[in-house]
Each structure stands twice: as structure tokens, then as C-alpha cells.
């Protein structure tokens, strides 16, 4: 079908905020109450009339709302159930409601392409004469054939063309962005991918030419899969400042939905006024991730499970520790486009220990033999510590001990042995898991460092505290490894105190935040609580983040 002559919206894009919040309600009063509570902060609202049993009954109240709020920009939407909305009436009844919405002052209506085709041409033209029309297309399964879809839409004139698809791969976001870039010079486009893997298109879509995007009013009020809530888009991702020159970073893994890295790293970029955004990159395969990283292009990535080992082969080069450990958690794209790898987990483990002691010569037990354990073992060996490894699967621990010239230790022998530090590098104790990797009688050490950071106080740390031992929460590793990443990417000292603060707050919100009191001995600078930072502390000096002051118990043995 031939493309129509480009037609520009009669509603100038500069009049539209970047974020539109869909409003739903159980009845007209509830819908309007919700709108009333949102409009001050978010004047651009979409009234989902189709969520009401009788959409037309809400219109007098919507009229009153518009009279009270001349600043509001309102889209009326009454999507039919056959087109994945909730309105059970015919296309003609839908048209009737949208005309009434226009008559009471709604500036825009959303018409799905299927309904627009059901309307008679002169009916559609009449609607367009009365109100701005967003002609929309939704695909709830995939992102494909976007140009064909658009060719089938753009023969109908519209103020905005909205194409919303579903991301099943990370690369679908790139497809959407290329589509937006190709058409946004000629048409007023709105585009995004739904689904958890499409979240990056909600942030980067506006960078690629989408006039605006959608955000849910609050967690739990999503009207589409993967919709991010408005405070997250504003406060975490700073969507209002994302533009073509904004650098893109992200945490790549499968899954990444619960990662606190976006909260921490975006806060660091904001604090240091770096024009960058940090996203969750939920990749189902490394191939998908690398294709996406190349085409966006992404300047740097934090790599998490399950790609830490697999990505090493795909890098142009990496630092010696990364090669020894065989795992990379930090990727940086150089000027020539090549990807280089680092392992900042080592700094995340060694750093908190060296803030408390000289690690050289210390006896350190590492429990676990996976990626984090390897970082601990090789990192501490490089600092001349005497390292011991124990693991559920003895063969893996034996192999690691051999490679790193550490010592393998049998679980059965642990109760008889003493260490300066015990490090938990297993997932035991994480989130819902209330187990500890060791029993109380096996905790014979000055310090217990649990790499698990959510919850802040694990069962292992509680046991250690009860025994009077010094404890180091995994949050310190999380912040330190992130701080080092920030420094590699930006060349600036990381705002460590700010990073610790936002992660602590995020864990608090998750109900996981109670930090254990930590103890400290030799070479400890004065401890401070994880209070709101007054000013940034450079990474090199910002020691002992998250450390609460003084326990009365002495843990020295």
C-alpha cells in the first residue's frame, strides 16, 4: 500500500510531555479520583474508558475534570476487547464514545487500526476534524514486520502513529528503535516494546524519536506488560534528560528484573552529572546481547549470571585477573568499538577486607567454587593471603584450589580449623532462602563476609554476630564492585556513599534492608552509618561504606 504524504500532527510535539500515564478505575468516580491524584505531577494522562463497565457514564466527570485542570492533556481510549482492550461494544459504539470524549474537551483519542478500518472513511475524517487522533497498532506476541505494519497504517491520516509490539529478544528493542529512527523525521511516532525484555525501549524509544512513552501510575497499576512506573522512569532512569547523545550502559543477564544495579549506577551517573543511562538488559542468549550491545551501541555493561564466563571468549581483550578467573563482570567499549573485559568482583571482595586488615598472610576460607568464589580465591591469592576452599561439590573446589595454588579443605574438617576470615560465596541465605552455608561450630574466624547482599542480614551473619564475630555484609561487595565499574567507564571517582545509600534504601523498600552491625579492628578508619551522604566520597577514600558503628562485643580470639 502506498505511503501517504507525511502529515504532521496538529498537536505540536513540543506541547506534549514525554510521559503519559494511563489511568484506570473501577468506576467513574474512582477513575477521576485517581486522575486527580496524578495530574499535578503528570499532566499527560490517558483515560482508559474501556476499563469501565459503562465508559460513556464517565464522560460528564471527565468534562468537569478538564474544566478544573486546563493544564491537563488527555487521551481518551476505549479499545475494543477484540483488539486486546476491554470494551465489549461495536466499533460504531466505540466511535460514538470517542466523539463524545472529543466534544467534552479531550485533546486526543487513541484509535486502534482495526477500528479505524471499521469506521467509514467520512466518519474517521469527521473524528479527525474534531480531535487529535493517535492511530495505534499492538502486537502482544512479537516484534516483526514493522515497516509492513506501518505501510498499512500510514495510508490513514493521523496526528500520531503508535506502534506497540512485544519484545521476545533484547534485539527487538533495536528493531523498534531503528523503525522509530526511520520514520520519526516524517511522521509523529510513538513506539515501544512491551514485556520485560522490552523495558529498554521505554527509555531509549524517546531517544530514537518516539514523541512520548507510557508509564504506569504506580507499581501494580500497569496497563501493559513491562510498563515501568513513572517514578522509576523519572527518578531512576531520568527519562526527561535522555537524548541522542546520552550514553547507554546496562546490566546484562538472565534474569535481571530484580537487580539493584540500575538504582545504584543511575544514582552514580546523576550524582556525577554524567550524561548516561543504565538499563536492565534481559538477554536470553549471549548472541542476542552482543547484537543489541553493538547496534545501540552500549558503552559499558555489568555482566551477571549466566554470561560471566561465556562472554570472556567474545571479548577483544581482558585484564590478567579476568583471564585467570575465567569470568568477566565488566565490559567497556573502546573508541574503536572493541569490547574489553574486567573483573571488578575482585575489588568488591578484596576492597572491604583491606579496609579492615592487611590481607597478606591472613588465613581465608572461601565457601563455594563458582564465579564469586573464583574472584575471591584468585583476588586474595594475588594479595598473598593463605586461601582455603570448601564446596558442596568437592571436585570443583579441588580444581579451583589447584589452579589458584590455594588449599582444598573438606567440610568435615572445618569445625577443627581456625581462620581470620570466612567468605560465603554460595547463594545460601539469599532472598527467600533462610539457610546458612555453615553451622555455628564451623564459624571459627575473626570475620565472616557474606557475599549475599539481599537480605542485608543473612542467617549466616546473624549466627556470626551471635557468636561475637565481626561481620561484613555483601552490600559492601556490591557497592565496591559497582564503584570500580563506574571508574572504569567514566574515569571519575565513584560517589560510593551515594551508591551505598540508594542500595540500602532500595533494600529497605524490599523489606531486606536491616543492616547488620559490623565490627572492625586493625586499620579501620572511623566507621560511619549508611546515612544520606552529605557529599560524595571519592572511591579511593570512601572506605567502610555501610558500616555501622561500634558493637560492644569483642570478636578477637
Q: Per CB under 6 A, does 481 bind ligand NAP? A: yes
**Whether the Cβ atoms of residue 303 and residue 311 lie closer than 8 Å to each other:** yes
Q: Per CB under 6 A, does 500 bind ligand NAP? A: no
What's the rounded Cα separation, in Å, for the pair 257 and 252? 10
Q: Per CB under 6 A, does 428 bind ligand NAP? A: yes
Nearer to ligand NAP, 62 or 369 (CB): 369
Cβ neighbours of residue 161 closer than 8 Å, sequence gap 6 or more: 134, 135, 136, 150, 153, 154, 183, 187, 188, 189, 190
**Whether the Cβ atoms of residue 77 and residue 48 lie closer than 8 Å to each other:** yes
Give the shortest CB-170-to-ligand NAP separation in angstroms. 21
308 in catalytic set: yes
Give the shortest CB-459-to-ligand NAP separation in angstroms. 13
Q: Specify the stretch interacting with ligand NAP by CB under 6 A; choose among 28-36, 286-294, 358-366, 423-431.
A: 423-431
Q: Per CB under 6 A, does 499 bind ligand NAP? A: no
Phi, psi (degrees; rounded to nearest 5) at 336: -85, 5
| Distance set, CA 518 to CA 354, 421, 446, 540, 549 (Å) | 15, 14, 12, 21, 7
What's the rounded Cα separation, in Å, for the pair 405 and 388? 10
Q: Which of 269, 449, 478, 501 is close enough to bind ligand NAP by CB under 6 A?
A: 478
Of 382, 297, 394, whose CA–CA distance to 336 is shortest? 297
Q: Per CB under 6 A, does 368 bind ligand NAP? A: yes
What's the rounded Cα separation, in Å, for the pair 292 and 468? 49
What's the rounded Cα separation, in Å, for the pair 43 and 288? 37
What's the rounded Cα separation, in Å, for the pair 63 and 69? 10
Q: Specify the stretch interacting with ligand NAP by CB under 6 A; choose among 109-117, 146-154, 235-243, 473-481.
A: 473-481
Q: Per CB under 6 A, does 380 bind ligand NAP? A: no
The C-alpha cell that represents 333 in the structure block:
567499549
Give the shortest CB-557-to-ligand NAP separation in angstroms. 26
Q: Per CB under 6 A, does 259 bind ligand NAP? A: no
Q: Which of 453, 486, 489, 501 is close enough to bind ligand NAP by CB under 6 A?
A: 453
Q: Per CB under 6 A, does 474 bind ligand NAP? A: yes
Owner of C-alpha cell 571517582: 493
The C-alpha cell that represents 78 in the structure block:
476505549
Tell whether the torsion through CA atoms of 276, 348, 515 and 554 is positive or negative. negative
Cβ neighbours of residue 221 closer than 8 Å, sequence gap 6 or more: 24, 229
Catalytic residue (one of 100, 162, 308, 381): 308
Q: At what angle do helices 394-404 and 371-381 cross, to 10 degrees?
A: 30
Q: Per CB under 6 A, does 425 bind ligand NAP? A: yes
CA 196 to chain centre: 10
Q: Per CB under 6 A, does 455 bind ligand NAP? A: no
Cβ neighbours of residue 387 closer than 8 Å, sequence gap 6 or more: 364, 366, 376, 377, 380, 381, 404, 406, 407
What's the rounded Cα separation, in Å, for the pair 24 and 45? 10
Contact track, ligand NAP, 12-51, x by CB under 6 A: ----------------------------------------
Nearer to ligand NAP, 150 or 501 (CB): 501
Q: Per CB under 6 A, does 278 bind ligand NAP? A: no
Contact track, ligand NAP, 309-348, x by CB under 6 A: ------------------------------------x--x
Helix (H, G, I), strand (E, B) or coil at 464: helix
For 335-451, strand residue ranges (E) read 339-342, 363-367, 386-390, 407-408, 419-424, 445-450
Q: Per CB under 6 A, does 477 bind ligand NAP? A: yes
Q: Per CB under 6 A, does 369 bind ligand NAP? A: yes
Q: Which of 201, 213, 259, 426 is close enough to bind ligand NAP by CB under 6 A?
A: 426
Give the shortest CB-501-to-ligand NAP separation in angstroms. 16
Q: How many residues bind ligand NAP (CB under 6 A)?
A: 26
Nearer to ligand NAP, 191 or 437 (CB): 437
Contact track, ligand NAP, 81-120, x by CB under 6 A: ----------------------------------------
Q: Which of 452, 460, 502, 503 is close enough to bind ligand NAP by CB under 6 A?
A: 452
Give the shortest CB-331-to-ligand NAP separation in angstroms. 16
What's the rounded Cα separation, in Å, for the pair 490 and 231? 26
Q: Which of 22, 341, 370, 516 is close enough to bind ligand NAP by CB under 6 A?
A: 370
Q: Which residues are known catalytic residues?
A: 308
**Interface ranges with ligand NAP (CB under 6 A):** 305, 345, 348, 368-373, 391-393, 396, 425-428, 430, 437, 451-453, 474, 477-478, 481
Amino acid at each position: 500500500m502506498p505511503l501517504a504524504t507525511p502529515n504532521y500532527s496538529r498537536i505540536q510535539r513540543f506541547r506534549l510531555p514525554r510521559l503519559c500515564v494511563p489511568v484506570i478505575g473501577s468506576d467513574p468516580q474512582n477513575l477521576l479520583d485517581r486522575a486527580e491524584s496524578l495530574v499535578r505531577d503528570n499532566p499527560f494522562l490517558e483515560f482508559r474508558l474501556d476499563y469501565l463497565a459503562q465508559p460513556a457514564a464517565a464522560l460528564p466527570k471527565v468534562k468537569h475534570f478538564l474544566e478544573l485542570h486546563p493544564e491537563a492533556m488527555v487521551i481518551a481510549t476505549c479499545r475494543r476487547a477484540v483488539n486486546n482492550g476491554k470494551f465489549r461494544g461495536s466499533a460504531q459504539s466505540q466511535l460514538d464514545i470517542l466523539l463524545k470524549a472529543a466534544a467534552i474537551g479531550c485533546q486526543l483519542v487513541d484509535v486502534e487500526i482495526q477500528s479505524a478500518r471499521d469506521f467509514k472513511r467520512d466518519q474517521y475524517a469527521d473524528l479527525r476534524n474534531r480531535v487529535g487522533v493517535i492511530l495505534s497498532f499492538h502486537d502482544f506476541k512479537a516484534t516483526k514486520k514493522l515497516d509492513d505494519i506501518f505501510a498499512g497504517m500510514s495510508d490513514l491520516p493521523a496526528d500520531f502513529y503508535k506502534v506497540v509490539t512485544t519484545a521476545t529478544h533484547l534485539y527487538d528493542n533495536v528493531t523498534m528503535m531503528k523503525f522509530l529512527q526511520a520514520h520519526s523525521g516524517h511522521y509523529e511516532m510513538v513506539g515501544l516494546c512491551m514485556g520485560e525484555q522490552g523495558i529498554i525501549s521505554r527509555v531509549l524509544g524517546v531517544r530514537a524519536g518516539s514523541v512520548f512513552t507510557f508509564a504506569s501510575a504506580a507499581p501494580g497499576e500497569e496497563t501493559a506488560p513491562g510498563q515501568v512506573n513513572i517514578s522509576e522512569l523519572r527518578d531512576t532512569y531520568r527519562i526527561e534528560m535522555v537524548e541522542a547523545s546520552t550514553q547507554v550502559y546496562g546490566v546484562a543477564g538472565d534474569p535481571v528484573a530484580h537487580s539493584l544495579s540500575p538504582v545504584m549506577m543511575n544514582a552514580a551517573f546523576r550524582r556525577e552529572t554524567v550524561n548516561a543511562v543504565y538499563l536492565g538488559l534481559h538477554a536470553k542468549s549471549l548472541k542476542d546481547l552482543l547484537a543489541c550491545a553493538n547496534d545501540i551501541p552500549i558503552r559499558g555493561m555489568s555482566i551477571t549470571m549466566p554470561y560471566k564466563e561465556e562472554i570472556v571468549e567474545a571479548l577483544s581483550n581482558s585484564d590478567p585477573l579476568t583471564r585467570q578467573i575465567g569470568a568477566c563482570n565488566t565490559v567497556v567499549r573502546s573508541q574503536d568499538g572493541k569490547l574489553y573485559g574486567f573483573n571488578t568482583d575482585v575489588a568488591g571482595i578484596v576492597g572491604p577486607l583491606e579496609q579492615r586488615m592487611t590481607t597478606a598472610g591472613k588465613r581465608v576460607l572461601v565457601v563455594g567454587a563458582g564465579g564469586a568464589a573464583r574472584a575471591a580465591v584468585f583476588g586474595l591469592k594475588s594479595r598473598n593471603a593463605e586461601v582455603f576452599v570448601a564446596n558442596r561439590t568437592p571436585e570443583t573446589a579441588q580444581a579451583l584450589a589447584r589452579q589458584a595454588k590455594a588449599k582444598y579443605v573438606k567440610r568435615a574438617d572445618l569445625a577443627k580449623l581456625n581462620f581470620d576470615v570466612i567468605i560465603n560465596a554460595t547463594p545460601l541465605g539469599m532472598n527467600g532462602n533462610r539457610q546458612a552455608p555453615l553451622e555455628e561450630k564451623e564459624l571459627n574466624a575473626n570475620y565472616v563476609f557474606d557475599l549475599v547482599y539481599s537480605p542485608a542480614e543473612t542467617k549466616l551473619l546473624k549466627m556470626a554476630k551471635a557468636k561475637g564475630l565481626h561481620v561484613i555484609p555483601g552490600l559492601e561487595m556490591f557497592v565496591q564492585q559497582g564503584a570500580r565499574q563506574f571508574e572504569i567507564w567514566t574515569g571519575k571517582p565513584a560517589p560510593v556513599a551515594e551508591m551505598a545509600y540508594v542500595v540500602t534504601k532500595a533494600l529497605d523498600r524490599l523489606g531486606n534492608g536491616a543492616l547488620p552491625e559490623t565490627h572492625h579492628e586493625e586499620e579501620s578508619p572511623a566507621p560511619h552509618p549508611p546515612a544520606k551522604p552529605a557529599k560524595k566520597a571519592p572511591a579511593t577514600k570512601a572506605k567502610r561504606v555501610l558500616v555501622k558503628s561500634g558493637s560492644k562485643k569483642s570478636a578477637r580470639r
